Each structure stands twice: as structure tokens, then as C-alpha cells.
Amino acid sequence: MTIVAIVGAGITGLSAAQALLQCSEGIQVHIYEKSRGIGGRVATRRIEGCIVDHGAQNIKTTEPAFVNLLLEELDTADLVPIVAPVRLWRANGEILPPDPRHEAISKYAYRYGLTTLAKLLLARLPKEWIALHLETPVARLAEEGEEVVLKDGEGRELMRADFAVLTAPLPQAASLLAESALWMRGTQQTLDRVRALREVEYVPCLSVLLGYGPGLPEPPAYALLAEDRSETLLWLAFEHLKAPERAPHGESLLVAQWGPAMSRVCFEEAEAMVVGRTLNELKRLFGETYERPLWVQVKRWRYSQPRGMMPFEMINPPAVDSLIYVAGDGTRPEGGRIHQAYLSGLETAEAILARIGGHNVA
Ligand SMILES: Cc1cc2nc3c(=O)[nH]c(=O)nc-3n(C[C@H](O)[C@H](O)[C@H](O)COP(=O)(O)OP(=O)(O)OC[C@H]3O[C@@H](n4cnc5c(N)ncnc54)[C@H](O)[C@@H]3O)c2cc1C
């Protein structure tokens, strides 16, 4: 029996678990997740009768393995195409026509929120071989002989495993490894891995969620993307267009995500300031009706998406022979995408299976 501990129940962690359990008998997987639910940055909130994705916004890819997963392997009952286009907007308020090249690739969401994807992935895992530990942060790891020991913040042992997979955003994985370096097989090699991980920057994102009563004009697009990436509001998505279930009849739901530069400057600002600035920008763009939402919430993503990447084999060098793998969207080209997280999970499972002699990931 091989025991694999996965730190993080986002798409990378769930994908790795699925690939390990599909491809080899005799593997037991434990997933440790610090928050109350699964999905990580694929995150959905229910607010005042609305359903809103406040992290990842939509699924858009032609990547064959992921398209096959989405359309053939997983239940498609709640999968909905987003038919309205994404359009660029300019600082002067001009909204450009949809770009046919971008619109040629279908965009998808789930009727009741993107976390459905995580739930569907979890539901596929065989119950007898998987244990999910929610609200259980892993604070330190140690390699002892042929085992990895996972510990909580009090230094208590959570479990012993044959391999561990870290799937937090790379800066957080770096901190966890740095914290653990003294207890690793090769402290210097571990610190080299930490240095490599820290080379990948993750940009912050302030995600402001706004609910509006009836009477707002028909939106010009599913979402508007700022042509100038230094604008305060980079992405404005009309969430109620994803599916009728997203908002009570006639109401509108807007996700206003700030660009990296302004998110960084204002990340620690009081909520009232972030909301005030968002409403001012919306008024400037769309007029006064957008100044008076029924409700507003702010979600702060300190590590939203990677800028750049560090290839899997650079942070998991085979020569180091570590029992601890680092995975996640920052290890993939064009990371910061749900499908890249999924592929990272497959890649990591493949590496572990190669070491224990399991079947290849299809
Ligand atoms: C604002 C925003 C907008 C985005 N928009 C899109 C989009 O439109 N389309 C798209 O494809 N992608 C988008 N993304 C990116 C996408 O969400 C990510 O690429 C993907 O979800 C990453 O998955 P992951 O499993 O690698 O990481 P995560 O989802 O971050 O999962 C890591 C998990 O590890 C847990 N964890 C961390 N540390 C510990 C610890 N010490 N112990 C236990 N658990 C721990 C975390 O709680 C988390 O659940 C967006 C992301 C954000 C934040």
C-alpha cells in the first residue's frame, strides 16, 4: 500500500488524487485542506439569493485532456456555455466589438457555481481509498527515512505518508518548504527548491461582488476587459448572464476584479475604501445606476494568478529524490488557469506512479 498525502483540495490536488487512484491499485490518498470547503481559487459564494464566482470566472480552453474531462467524463447536467461575448473597453468608455478569434473558443460555467467542478472531481474518487480532512492546515513536513511526516501548527503529527504533494500557490508552497527545510533529506537542495519557487510571482486581486435590484440596462457583454491593464477595474463580469439560477428574476450580479497594480497598492485598505473606489469607477463607466447596489462584498486574493512559471522538473528535480512534490498552476506554461491546474495534477501523479511502478496517466 502506498500512501500519498496531498496538501490542498483545489483543482490540482483533486486532479492528482483522481489520476493516482485511477491508475494504480493499492494507493491510499489523504487530502488536507486548510479551509472549510474544496475548490481553492475556484470559489463560489451564495449571497442574498445569488450565486457568484469570486475567484476563477470561467473555463475556457481547447486543451484536449481537459475538454474531454469536462464534456465527456464529468456530468454535464449543470455545465452551461456562456454565450454572450467578452469585449474590451477603453478608458474613454468606448467598448470594442467582440474579437472573433477569442470568441471562437467556447467559455463555460456551472449553473450553481464553478465549485461544481471540484465537487464533481471529488465525487469520482473511490470512497474507500480517499480521506478528505477539511479545516486542517499543514504547517510543516519532515522526511524521516522513507516516510514524510505531516505536522499541524502545534507541531502535532497529522500522518505519515510515502509521498506528499504541495498544491498551494507557489509562494505559499515555498514558505512551507522553507519552514520544513531543516527536517528534509537534503536541506541545501530544499533551499534551492525554495529559491526556484520564489521566482514565480503571483499577483494579488481584489474581487468586488455587487448585487443590483431590477431595472439595470441589458449588459453590453458577458464581461468587459480593460484594454489598459493598469486600469483599476480590469474585469467586469455580469454573473447573472451565466444562468438564470445565478440571481433572482430581474436582478443583476456584477463581479468587478481589480487589476494587479491597483490591487497591490490597495490590498490592505479598509473595505469601505475599496467599495467606494469601485463604485466611483462603475459610475464613470456606466452611469449613476451602478452607484447603488443592494449589497457589496469584497474578497481579497493575495495570490490570484502566477506571472511566469517554473517548470515541474525544475522544482521537483529527479536527482534530489525527494518524497515531496510541488505542483500547481505556477508549474505550467500559461498558468493561472483551471485547466493548467488540472494538468499539473496529472503530471504530478505521473511522476509518483513512475516511482512506484503504476500505470501511466492516460
Ligand atoms: C481572481 C481570480 C480569477 C481567476 N480567473 C480565472 C479564469 O477566469 N479562468 C481560469 O481558468 N482560471 C482563473 N483563475 C485561476 C484558477 O483559479 C487557478 O489557476 C486554479 O484554480 C488553481 O488551482 P490549484 O489547485 O493549483 O490552486 P488553489 O486553487 O489555490 O488550491 C490550493 C489549495 O491549497 C489549500 N492550502 C494552501 N496551503 C495549505 C496548507 N498549508 N494546508 C492545507 N491546505 C492548504 C488552499 O486553501 C487551496 O484550497 C483565477 C484565479 C483568481 C484568484
Q: How many CB atoms lie within 10 A of CB 65?
A: 16
CB-based burial of residue 229 (10 Å sphere; 0-12 exposed, 13-18 middle, 19+ buried)? exposed
Task: Provide the 3-class DSSP secondary structure of residue 66.
Answer: helix
Q: Which atom of ligand 1 is nearest to the CA of 172?
A: 38
pLDDT for 139 equals 97
List the domains of the chain with CATH numbers: 2-42+118-200+307-356 (3.50.50.60), 44-115+202-306 (3.90.660.10)
Q: Is 161 exposed, middle or buried (0-12, 13-18, 19+ CB in 10 A)?
A: buried
- Reported as type and span, the H/E element at residue 272 is helix 271-286
Q: In whole angstroms, what is the distance from residue 68 CA to residue 63 CA?
A: 9
Which segments in the chain show pLDDT lower than 70?
358-362
ipTM over 0.95 threshold: yes
Q: Point out the ligand 1 atom lying closest to the alpha carbon of residue 339.
A: 11
Question: What pLDDT is attached to residue 334?
Answer: 85
How far does the centroid of ligand 1 lie from the alpha carbon of residue 78, in Å? Answer: 21
How far apart, in whole angstroms, are the C-alpha atoms of residue 152 and residue 34?
A: 10
| Ligand 1 pocket: which of 36, 41, 332 to mutate (most atoms within 8 A of CB) | 41
Give me the pLDDT at residue 336, please. Answer: 95
CA pair distance 125, 106, nearest whole angstrom = 28
Q: CA 269, CA 267: separation in Å to the nearest integer?
A: 6
Q: Quick check: 298 and 140 in contact, CB under 8 A? A: no
pLDDT of residue 362: 56
CA of 288 to the centre of ligand 1 (A): 34
Q: Among 167, 239, 310, 346, which is best to mutate for testing ligand 1, by the most ligand atoms less than 8 A from CB?
A: 167
Residue 86 and residue 224: Cα distance in Å, rounded?
6
Cell numbers representing residue 342 in the block: 488540472
Name every protein residue with a CB atom under 6 angstroms from any ligand 1 atom: 7-13, 32-35, 40-42, 55-59, 137-138, 167-169, 172, 176, 205, 207, 257, 301, 304-305, 328-329, 336-338, 341
Q: Residues with Cβ < 8 Å from 206, sequence gap 6 or more?
A: 257, 258, 262, 263, 266, 267, 274, 298, 299, 300, 301
Residue 259 DSSP class: P
